[in-house]
Amino acid sequence: MPVDRRQFLQLGGMAALAYGAPSAWRAALSAPTATPGRADYTLRIARSLVELSPDHIVSTVTYNGQFPGPLLRFKEGQRTVVDIYNDTDTPEQLHWHGQIVPVDVDGSAEEGTPCIPAHGMRRITYVPGPAGFRFYHTHVVAGGDLTRGQYSAQAGPVYIEPRHEPGDHDREVFLVLKEFDPFFSQGGDMDMDFLAPATREQALQQRGESAMKASLAHGTPHGYEVGYQAFAINGRMLGHGEPIRVKQGERVLLHVLNASATEIRSLALPGHTFTVVALDGNPVPQPADVPVLWIGTAERVSAVVEMNHPGVWVLGDLDDDDRGHGMGIVVEYAGRTGKPQWRKPPEAKWDYRRFARPDARVQTPDAIIDLTFAKQNAAEHGFNRWTINGVPFDMHSRKPMLRLRHGARYRLRMHNASDDIHPIHLHRHSFEITRIAGQPAGGIIKDVVMLGGYQTMELDFSADQRGLSLFHCHSQLHMDFGFMALFDCA
């Protein structure tokens, strides 16, 4: 009789022993996971095939055999039960990115969330929030293994419905951007200069450049970077998925998630502009029109596009090579046919301040904490090692870098002594951007933000969550090699 894994688990420990289950299975079976009642959602982590195009099929680890993982729609404040099964041979973590949840739910081993055992399961019961566009993804260390962590296809969108939906659009479309088939390269990363303000700090630049010069003078090559062979939106390479079908005059709300392990993405739609209404799922104080979206690793942008330029278009990445290898999706107006058209958009910088409160007034924090990020070129078996205030994260000691006072408001003054742009993320909190490269800002609430090369940025947040919270660069390649710290709030 064929028995599926779930039924098999329900047979209980004795039956499993009789079948000669491996020890990992026995551990899972004896764990107290069999809570009665149905889950609202079931997620299953397993290796499966993803068809990016008919002649490009990849084998990777997914949620429920698909990429992206299913869109989970939660209701703000409504208790939710999620069962997570792990059908792989290694323990997993599922992180509820952008939600404010307790440590045992959050999905970070560094904070102390229990893992989802190999061939086992965990039931999570919690109250989702805050409302808005969030996502879920794996949170394990990949190190040099490009099949693990966010190099796999473990990511899916979450939409937490607010009690009152602000609805100035006709419909919404979720887009998940992701690369596949990763490989290592050693050429040094490409310089990206799309951020405004562009001012670099001399002291940071001197420090970063002299460290790199000294390393290269010793004959050390550049540390490893990661490149990709295939690019996709919603798991399909450009031209291979269903187009976004629109009607003239329609207002389409795009919820765009960059689920990349390491990359910053851009998006443009020829002849159209994006009205950015929310960043990381939080409404911005000042919606503004832009011709191009720039989205750091793990960032989300919600933008309304008024469909007023009939045709068949490519909504795609500005990089010709990445778009040519799949990073795009076709937008097709009703009644229009033909080859999808791409046109380079007008030159535009990405400036978070465009969406900020005009007066840039911010609360005075109780304390200011300076954090300096630095790169040690190829210092760890050819990988760059990353430090925060001179210290790489120690997975084993899990010693908090900061002790926070509950209820106090903190300002993180982050100094980037490297030329890389870092998507900085704080778990279990939202923060407010209060200064970018010396310029004041206010009112933008986010959970990931791009910190420019050799720049300083200030983020304010309230320490209102007890326990450990992980602070890290969201690039898998950086976080795995030191770019993490724990904040403890008693």
Q: Which residues bind Cu ion (CB under 5 A)?
A: 422, 473, 475, 478
| Of 122 and 422, CB closest to Cu ion | 422
**Closest separation in Å from C-beta 37 to Cu ion:** 41
Closest CB to Cu ion among residues 255, 375: 375
Contact of 246 with 307, CB cutoff 8 Å: yes
Judged by beta carbon, residue 289 or residue 394, the one nearer Cu ion is 394
Give min distance, CB of 427 to Cu ion, in A.
Answer: 16
Q: Which residues contact 409 (CB under 8 A, 6 or more apart)?
A: 363, 365, 366, 460, 461, 462, 463
Structure token pair of residue 437: 């490269």
Residues 6+ apart with CB under 8 A from 60: 47, 48, 50, 67, 147, 152, 153, 180
Secondary structure (3-state) at 180: strand
Q: In the structure, how many helices (H) and strands (E) does the chain have?
A: 7, 30
Smallest separation (angstroms) from Cu ion to the CB of 483: 5
Minimum distance from residue 479 beta carbon to Cu ion (Å): 7
The least distance separating Cu ion from the CB of residue 268, rounded to whole angstroms, comes to 25
* Closest CB 476 distance from Cu ion, rounded Å: 9
**Of residues 63 and 352, the one with the C-beta less far from Cu ion:** 352
> In the bound complex, what is the minimum distance in angstroms from residue 319's beta carbon to Cu ion?
19
Smallest gap, in angstroms, from Cβ of residue 69 to Cu ion?
A: 24
Helix (H, G, I), strand (E, B) or coil at 29: helix
The least CB distance from residue 375 to Cu ion, in Å, is 9
CB nearer Cu ion, residue 385 or residue 478: 478
- Residue 323 or 478: the one with the smaller Cβ distance to Cu ion is 478
Cβ distance to Cu ion smaller for residue 62 or 384: 384
Q: Which is nearer to Cu ion, 150 or 475 (CB)?
A: 475
**Taking the complex as a whole, how short is the minimal distance between the CB of residue 379 and Cu ion, in angstroms?**
15
8 A C-beta contact, residue 329 and residue 177: no
The residue assigned the tokens 């999620």 is: 82
CA-to-CA distance for 453 and 212, rounded, in angstroms? Answer: 14
| Nearest residue (CB) to Cu ion, 63 versus 151 | 151
- Strand ranges inside 99-208, DSSP E: 120-126, 132-138, 155-161, 171-185
Looking at the Cβ atoms of 48 and 215, the one nearer to Cu ion is 215
454, 466 Cβ separation under 8 angstroms: no
- Residues 6 or more apart whose CB falls under 8 angstroms from that of 111 comprise 103, 427, 428, 467, 468, 469, 470, 486
Residue closer to Cu ion by CB (options 276, 473) is 473
Give the residue at shortest CB distance from Cu ion: 473
Q: Is the peptide bond before 291 cis (omega within 30 degrees of 0)?
A: no
**In whole angstroms, how close is the CB of 416 to Cu ion at the nearest point?**
9
Q: How far apart are CA 449 and CA 421, in angstroms?
A: 10
Contact between 247 and 307 under an 8 Å Cβ cutoff? The reply is: yes
Output the six-digit token pair for 325.
Answer: 């290898």
Output the six-digit token pair for 415. Answer: 């100094």
Measure the CA–CA gap between 326 and 261, rounded to whole angstroms: 17
The angle subtended at Cα 401 by Cα 397 and Cα 403, nearest 5°, is: 115
Residues paired with residue 191 on neighbouring β-strands, in sequence order: none
3 state SS of 30: helix
